[in-house]
Structure formats: structure tokens, C-alpha cells
Amino acid sequence: MKAVILAGGLGKRLRPLTSDRPKPLVEVAGKPIIVHQLEWLKEHDITEVIICAGYLKEVLIKHLGSGQKYGVHIAYVVEEEPLGTGGALANAAPLLRNEEGFFVLNGDIITDLDPWHLTELEERFVGSIALVPLPCPYGVVELGPEGEVRVFYEKPVLKEHLINAGVYFFRPDVLPQLPTRGDLERTTLPMLAMARSLKGVVYEDVFWKAIDTVKDVEEAERRLCA
């Protein structure tokens, strides 16, 4: 089964780290984000990878090559101008139409969740989305009836709130529903949700981290190296 990595973003919030490299090549704990992803995919026997490349695509392609050194086979689909995550995936449609299903992941996440759970789909679903509990970036305070501070939780995980983990499984039926330009999160996913054709799969007690800022790099390194 194939996996598509959406790796075309500009990574503006990671500058200056992304001044001379695309976001997926930013190093976390000694290796680029996308190398963490390739190793994770290979651990789960997913070795056919399509990379949707955009910003500084030449740097990304030169670094990763055919994927042989990571034990995978990489094909590249490039965009000459930013298309968004949905448009980038639509750009890769010719390589996906004949598949029974395929994985999709954002190029800025590091995780150890088991992607195969996403493939356990009833017929009415066109795809599934990995969900993780919300990691709160702030300390949370609990007050008593008279306004007294009772408990202080430092950056708790809010299990009653779920967030998009940026890992998906789709059947090829989703391809006609992709925009030519625009983000999955603003176009196709809300449409699938309205049609009740997208399954949510909750993962608890897994490692998951989105790398959006330099602070995220530092926090991911602390957790990975602990």
C-alpha cells in the first residue's frame, strides 16, 4: 500500500530553519522530520511512498533520492506553485486511482501511532482520520467555589477534546472530491464530515508531535531523547 507525504509547505513559522531547506528537512533529534516519517512507515511495512514537493523541492529530492537508503521507494509529484494540501493530493491522483486505498500524512508530524488501524473501514466510509487528545500548551487552573486556586495542571492532555493528527487513510473514491487548489482541512474533510463518510479513529497513549515552530522542535527533541 502507498503513502503520500504532503511536503510542499513554506514553513514560515520555522524560519530561519526553513530559509535554505523545506520544512520536512528540519532536523529533530538528529534527523529530518521526513526521515522520521520514512522510518516509521517502513516499520509498518509501508515502503511505497509518494512525496508531494513544492517549496525548495530540488533540495528535498537531492537529499532523499530514490529512498533506497531508507529502505523505501520514493516517487515525487511536484507543484510549481503552492496548491495547498488538497491540491497537492489531487496532483498525485494519477498515481493513486488504481489503489484499493492509500495513506496520507502531513509532512510536519512525528508519531508512532499504528496507521493500519485506519484501514478498518465500514463500507459507508470513504476514508478515516487519526485523532489524538489535545495537548494543551498552557498551564490549566482549577478554582474552588470561592475563587480559590485548588489545582494547577502544567500543560495537561485534554482527553475530552480531539484534534486532527494529520494522518489519513482514503479509498480512491475521495479523489474526485479533492480541490485543484486549497487545503484538505478547509475543503474535502468538512465535506466528508457533512456526508458522514469520514471515520474518526482515536489514538491514546501514543507519541505525536506537530513541528510548526522552533519551540516545537525543542519540545519534540526533549520527548524523543528522554
d(CA 194, CA 196): 5
Q: Can 159 be counted among the known catalytic residues?
A: no
What is the model's pTM? 0.91
Give yes or no for a contact between 168 and 85, defined as CB atoms under 8 angstroms apart: no
Percent of the chain exceeding pLDDT 70 equals 100
The model's pLDDT over 106-123, given as tens digits with 9 standing for 90+, comes to: 999 999 999 999 999 999
Only one residue has cell 527533541, namely: 221
Residue 10 pLDDT class (50, 70, 90 cuts): confident
Domains of the chain with CATH codes: 2-224 (3.90.550.10)
pLDDT at 14: 82
Give yes or no for a contact between 200 and 131, defined as CB atoms under 8 angstroms apart: yes
Select the highest-mean-pLDDT range: 48-52, 133-137, 151-155.
48-52
Work out the number of other CB atoms within 10 angstroms of the CB of residue 78. 15
Higher pLDDT pick, 194 / 220? 194
Give yes or no for a contact between 111 and 153, defined as CB atoms under 8 angstroms apart: no
Any idea how long the chain is? 226
- The torsion angle over the Cα atoms of residues 217, 23, 199 and 220, rounded to 10 degrees, is -10
Helix (H) or strand (E) segment spanning residue 172: none
Residues 6+ apart with CB under 8 A from 59: 20, 21, 22, 25
Residue 141 pLDDT class (50, 70, 90 cuts): confident
All three cell numbers of 90, joined, read 489531487
Taking 80 as the threshold, does the pLDDT of residue 157 lie above it? no
Helix (H) or strand (E) segment spanning residue 49: strand 48-53
Taking 80 as the threshold, does the pLDDT of residue 146 lie above it? no
Cα angle 205-185-32, degrees, rounded to a multiple of 5: 60
By mean pLDDT, which of 14-23, 31-40, 165-174 is the weakest? 14-23
Give yes or no for a contact between 163 and 131, defined as CB atoms under 8 angstroms apart: yes
d(CA 166, CA 144): 37
Give yes or no for a contact between 167 and 157, defined as CB atoms under 8 angstroms apart: no
- The torsion angle over the Cα atoms of residues 113, 119, 120 and 125, rounded to 10 degrees, is 120
Q: Which of 23, 42, 62, 155 is catalytic?
A: 155
Taking 80 as the threshold, does the pLDDT of residue 136 lie above it? no
